[in-house]
Every structure is written in structure tokens, then in C-alpha cells.
A and B are shown apart, each in its own frame.
Chain A
Amino acid sequence: MSLRLFALPAALLAGLLVAGTCGAFTLEEYTFEDPARQQDFRELIGEIRCLVCQNESLAASQADLAQDLRNEIYRLMQEGRPRDEVIDYLVSRYGDFVLYEPPLRLNTLPLWLGPILLAIVGVVLLRRAIAQKRPLADEALSPEEQARLEALLARQQDHPDQDPRT
């Protein structure tokens, strides 16, 4: 009895939800029984670039092609294919460009190691610059200068109110 009371509002609510998703996509379309797979799917579409709107991931893009690719990834993952296999599938068709994070290979080595090398060069140059400045600070006074300094200090001690330079 109570179940029946509940059924009509639930159906209406479901209808509203379905109507609300028309046109715009939501991730709710893609459900997996295993929450871990669901998480994998969400992560994966965040790491794949949409080739139409190149600065958007598949998770963000409203492009028609992005929708196709999301569907395809969903289909492959529903088939139980592991994540690497899905990535290979996309890369073999669309190239490395679909990956936001480029793979570590010989031709991408500068990309990965360049920033680290630049940082090392920067630190070396900085240290050298600091080392070059240090002797200035350590410079000793000449005997005449030392004598003058002591005379000034002595005068200051004798006449504290007076400006020693006068």
C-alpha cells in the first residue's frame, strides 16, 4: 500500500530527471555496478583530450565527437577491458595527442626532463652569483681605515652627544 503511494511521485521525479538531462550530458548516464570501475571511468575521461575542443577533456567537452568517445570508452569498460587497453585503443586511432599527459619516450624526453634541467641550471647560476658577491662583504679595512675607525669610536665614547663626523 505504502509502496503504491510512493510509486507515482517517484515516476514523476524520474521523468523530470530524464527531461532535465536532454541536450546536456551528465555523467549519470554512465553507471557501473562496480564503484571502482565508475571511478576509473571518471578518471579516464578526465585524462583524454577532446580533439574538437582541444583544451577540454572528454569529461568537460560538449562536442559531439566527445560524446561518441565517451560512449565508446563506456562500452569498452563495460566489456571489462582494463584501463591500459582502453587507452591503447584510443591512441592507436587518434595518436598520442589524445592524452593530456604525454607518454615517457625518447622523443618526449625533453618535455619531461627539460623543466628539471632548467631548474638545476637555475640553482647553479644562482649559487655562482651569490658566491661572487660574498668577497665584497668580507673585505677587510686597510690599516689607515682601521685607525680612523678607532679614532672615531673613541671620540664618540668621550663625547656621546656630539656628532663624531664634525
Chain B
Amino acid sequence: MSQSRAKKTLKFLIPLGLFVVLVGFLGYGLTTDPRKVPSPLIGKSIPDFTLPTLADPDRQVTQEALKGTVSLVNVWASWCPSCRAEHRMLMGIAQEGIDDLQIVGLNWKDERPQAQDMLRLFGNPYVVNLFDPDNQVGLDFGVYGAPETFVIDRHGIIRYKHIGPVDAEVWEQTLRPLVQQLKAQS
């Protein structure tokens, strides 16, 4: 008698258990953003590149510019509203003047006059801007939208990729601690 009751309880508990597991998976799915695709480049060396700068078409910059100091590589374009939104944040970071940190721009699929206008209007937080109108280098970095921000250590290893605009929360809670940590490493 009690055995059949135990069996009945079990029959009731198994579907309930499965349901809870399913809810767990679906609930987890709700907390992740499917637009944010993890980059396979994390932990890898930056790709080799040679690109002209935004300011001067005759000046070429290579991957060496991203070595020797911690870098934020910010992918941006003048046509991208979120980039404009995050611009002020980047200006703030640049004005802090953190030692051993440079902000490098990758001006992506943009046009030179418009991009230069934007910097003239809103200020220039970048030590240098790479001009990549044809998505040559963007492709090697696995860029699929703007803005994106890469954190690169002084050996040129990609440590982190932030997809979407950098706001105060992202900077204070994720990027700043990571930058501090990378600066501490020799």
C-alpha cells in the first residue's frame, strides 16, 4: 500500500523535476543577450595589420602600436548612434589620464570627413585612429557591429571584448578593474 503511494508520488515528482530543469534553462536563456557572441580571439594575439590613420592618410600604423602598453581598442563610426552615446564616456576615460593606458580608435566602415567632423565636434579621446573603411582589419578582429571595445595587454594579447557601448557601469565594474589588473602584470 505505502509502496504504491511512493510510486505515485514519484510519478508526480519526475515531470515536476523535468519542468523545473526546463524552467532553469529557459530562465538562464533570458539573462543572456543572443546579440553578444563571445569572441574566439580572447587570449590570442592581435592580428597583424597595416592601416593608415584617420588624421593622415600617409601615416601607416601596424600592430606594434598596440604593444608595450595596455590598450582599449574602440571600434566606432560616425554613422553609429551608440558610438556617439559612448563617446562622452571615452572622453572621460581619456581625461582621467590613466598611466600606461591608451585608447586607440578603429574607425570602421566610415568616411574620413564625417569621422573627422565627429571628433572635431565632440572631442578626440584617441591617441590614434586606424582608418578601416573596407572592413579589412575589422574582419580580422571579428568585428560584427559598432561599437565594440577590445582590451589588449601590453604584449598584444586580446584579453576582453565588450560588445555595445561602454557606459559608466561597464567601465567601473568590468573594464577599469581589468585594466588595473593588466597594468599590474609585467
**Main SS class of interface, A:** helix
Across the interface, do B40 and A95 meet the contact criterion of CB distance under 8 Å?
A: yes
Tell me the count of chain A residues lying within 8 A, CB to CB, of chain B.
Answer: 15
Interface residues of A in 64-80 (CB under 8 A from B): 64-65, 68-69, 72
Closest to B144 in A: A51
Q: Is A117 an interface residue (CB 8 A)?
A: no
B109 partner residues in chain A, CB cutoff 8 A? 64
Across the interface, do A54 and B34 meet the contact criterion of CB distance under 8 Å?
A: yes
**Contact A65-B39, Cβ < 8 Å, known A54-B34, A72-B139, A93-B139:** no
Tell me the count of chain B residues lying within 8 A, CB to CB, of chain A.
Answer: 16
A72→B138 CA distance, assembly (Å): 12
**Main SS class of interface, B:** loop
B140 partner residues in chain A, CB cutoff 8 A? 93
A72→B109 CA distance, assembly (Å): 15
Q: Is B142 an interface residue (CB 8 A)?
A: yes
**Contact A94-B145, Cβ < 8 Å, known A54-B34, A54-B35, A68-B139:** no
Q: Tell me the B residues contacting A by CB distance below 8 Å.
A: 34-35, 37-41, 109, 134-135, 139-142, 144-145
